[in-house]
Amino acid sequence: MEVFLIRVLQLVLALSILVFLHEGGHFFFAKLFGVRVEKFYIFFDWKFSLFKFKPKKSDTEYGIGWIPLGGYCKIAGMIDESFDTEQMKQPEQPWEFRTKPAWQRLLIMIGGVLVNFLLALFIYSMILFYWGDTYIPVKDMTMGMKFNQEAKSYGFKDGDILLGTDQLAFKDFSADLYRQISEAHRVDIIRDGKHMSIQLPGELNLLGMLKADPAFVRPLLPAEVDSVMPGTPAEKMGLKRGDRIMALEGQPVDSYNEFVDLLGRRQDMLMVAESEGDSMKARTVTIVYGNEARQDTSTVMLTPDLKLGFVVKSIAALYKPVTVEYGFLESIPAGIKYGWHVLASYVDDLKYVFTAEGAKSLGGFGAIGSLFPPMWDWYMFWKMTAFLSIILAFMNILPIPALDGGHVLFLLYEMITRRKPSENFMIKAEYIGFGILILLMVVANLNDILRWLNYL
């Protein structure tokens, strides 16, 4: 419960910052051009609001809604998500959006996207300035990698040390490494101390690689016990620090990765269990373990979630990380470069959304919340906030009615043809766009529920 609350708090804080500044971008340009802003809200206030106030001699009501799905800046004389058609029937006023030149209306509409994009670049720059860039070079992972069967079919072998592709050297173990491999025609490796190259088609399915279980590639972790949790099956069977898991149910274990994969097969047995006896059978395993001086065999019942109760050394404990530090002036171009790379990678990955597997991968608030760490970590919080800011900017500029990009599309049409779309058309487009957004939100959050129920 504590982990859930920490993630919820991080998500709400990040969204509050992003929504406030996004709407602030619209607000700034509206005020700059003398357009009246009637309401400025963080989150939606359907039926009622959590908080609101209106300063004296101000045209704007400020508030916080109760539905955390975004926010809005109600601009006078504009057809938006408020669907205030009555106002549009009144005579035009000089302080209304609709009376302003098209270029001013365009800046008002892109203000939110502009602020979100610049915010992301600023946050990335400040992260590099304050924390630097700390990572473990893939070439330094001298124990190599563990590969699944698909990867092995292309020529990879467990223990291969990855160096880079025909285009770029690998930096750290992240989604970028998967992306590089998926696009590579050649991957350079070290195998048994010798430099070698593996030829690839250059068009592997990135989404399939990321979703594969076991994973296409992951750092190889020794199956050596670092600590044993009290009261667990591991403690009861006498497992000690320094022991190595050698076999599970008669199958040799060459790494912790292999041990986890074999336990995963027990999960399949547990899911189809029809009786208590079947469940007990799935949870009961025979393990061979020991060290150079001894070897023991124990039959033990795993926990209900199929855990033995021991921990191995993490990647960070096995390898020495590298930190690249940036001065203030150095951090700005580095942050801009990093942010642009994040945006380009996200846009490139959108092609998978239009596949069956991609649609299943859509996630709502649950998926977004799970991206935040289970404990409060300011580094990860700001990194996730910057990422969400870039995504919010890109999604809002898409040419979908009801989004900023939809309004921008119609404004560009007006500037080119010098003809305004009719108010009736704009209202219908707003309804259609709003319906599309609601549908996408329902699908994304339904996917979260189905994943929680283990149906996806």
Task: Report pLDDT digits (tens) over 310-339.
Answer: 999 999 999 999 999 999 999 999 999 999
Residue 287 pairs with which residues in a beta bridge? 248, 298
CA 197/CA 190 separation, integer angstroms: 8
Statement: residue 84 has pLDDT above 70: no
Structural Rg of the chain based on CA atoms: 27
Q: Which residue has the higher pLDDT, 79 or 344?
A: 344
User: For position 451, what pLDDT does the model report?
Assistant: 66
User: For position 426, what pLDDT does the model report?
Assistant: 80
User: For position 455, what pLDDT does the model report?
Assistant: 59
Q: What angle do CA 122, 126, 127 make, to 5 degrees?
A: 115
Q: Which residue has the higher pLDDT, 115 or 446?
A: 115
pLDDT-derived band of residue 403, with 50, 70 and 90 as boundaries? confident
CA 50/CA 417 separation, integer angstroms: 44
Q: Are 122 and 338 in contact (CB under 8 A)?
A: no
CA 92/CA 99 separation, integer angstroms: 7
Phi (first) and psi of residue 314, to 5 degrees: -80, 170
What are 344-370's pLDDT values in tens digits? Answer: 988 887 777 766 666 666 677 677 777
Q: What mean pLDDT is reported for the chain?
A: 88
Statement: residue 304 has pLDDT above 90: no
Q: What is the arithmetic mean of pLDDT over 277-284?
A: 87
| Residue whose structure tokens are 């608030």 | 365
Statement: residue 172 has pLDDT above 70: yes
What are 159-169's pLDDT values in tens digits? Answer: 999 999 999 99
Statement: residue 193 has pLDDT above 80: yes
pLDDT-derived band of residue 83, with 50, 70 and 90 as boundaries? low
Closest listed residue to residue 65, CA positions, set 9, 12, 10, 8: 12
User: For position 323, what pLDDT does the model report?
Assistant: 95
Q: Are 360 and 456 in contact (CB under 8 A)?
A: yes
What are 16-59's pLDDT values in tens digits? Answer: 999 999 999 999 999 999 999 999 998 888 888 888 889 988 88
Q: What is the arithmetic mean of pLDDT over 79-86?
A: 65
User: For position 85, what pLDDT does the model report?
Assistant: 65
User: For position 82, what pLDDT does the model report?
Assistant: 60
User: For position 105, what pLDDT does the model report?
Assistant: 93
CA 374/CA 6 separation, integer angstroms: 7
CA 313/CA 73 separation, integer angstroms: 50
Q: What percent of the chain has pLDDT over 70?
A: 93
Closest listed residue to residue 117, CA positions, set 15, 25, 10: 25
Q: Which residue has the higher pLDDT, 299 or 269?
A: 299
What are 207-250's pLDDT values in tens digits? Answer: 889 888 889 999 999 999 999 999 999 999 999 999 999 999 99
Statement: residue 283 has pLDDT above 70: yes
Q: What percent of the chain has pLDDT over 90?
A: 55
Closest listed residue to residue 314, CA positions, set 227, 190, 217, 189: 227
User: For position 48, what pLDDT does the model report?
Assistant: 83
User: For position 343, what pLDDT does the model report?
Assistant: 92
pLDDT-derived band of residue 72, with 50, 70 and 90 as boundaries? confident
User: For position 156, what pLDDT does the model report?
Assistant: 97
Torsion of CA 192, 197, 201, 203, to 10 degrees: 80
CA 150/CA 209 separation, integer angstroms: 9
State the SS3 of the chain.
Answer: CHHHHHHHHHHHHHHHHHHHHHHHHHHHHHHHCCCCEEEEEEEEEEEEEEEEECCCCCCCEEEEEEEEEEEEEEECCCCCCCCCHHHHHCCCCCCCHHHCCHHHHHHHHHHHHHHHHHHHHHHHHHHHHHCCEEECCHHHCCCCEEECHHHHHCCCCCCCEEEEECCCECCCCCHHHHHHHHHCCEEEEEECCEEEEEECCCCCCHHHHHHCCCCCEEECCCCECCEECCCCHHHHCCCCCCCEEEEECCEECCCHHHHHHHHHHHHHHHHCCCCHHHHHHHHEEEEEEECCCCEEEEEEECCCCCCCCEECCCHHHHCCCEEECCCHHHHHHHHHHHHHHHHHHHHHHHHHHHCHHHHHHCCCHHHHHHCCCCCCCHHHHHHHHHHHHHHHHHHHCCCCCCCHHHHHHHHHHHHHHCCCCCHHHHHHHHHHHHHHHHHHHHHHHHHHHHHHCCCC
| Residue whose structure tokens are 């969400």 | 388
Q: Are 8 and 86 in contact (CB under 8 A)?
A: no
Q: Which residue has the higher pLDDT, 144 or 406?
A: 144
pLDDT-derived band of residue 282, with 50, 70 and 90 as boundaries? confident
Q: What is the arithmetic mean of pLDDT over 420-424?
A: 81
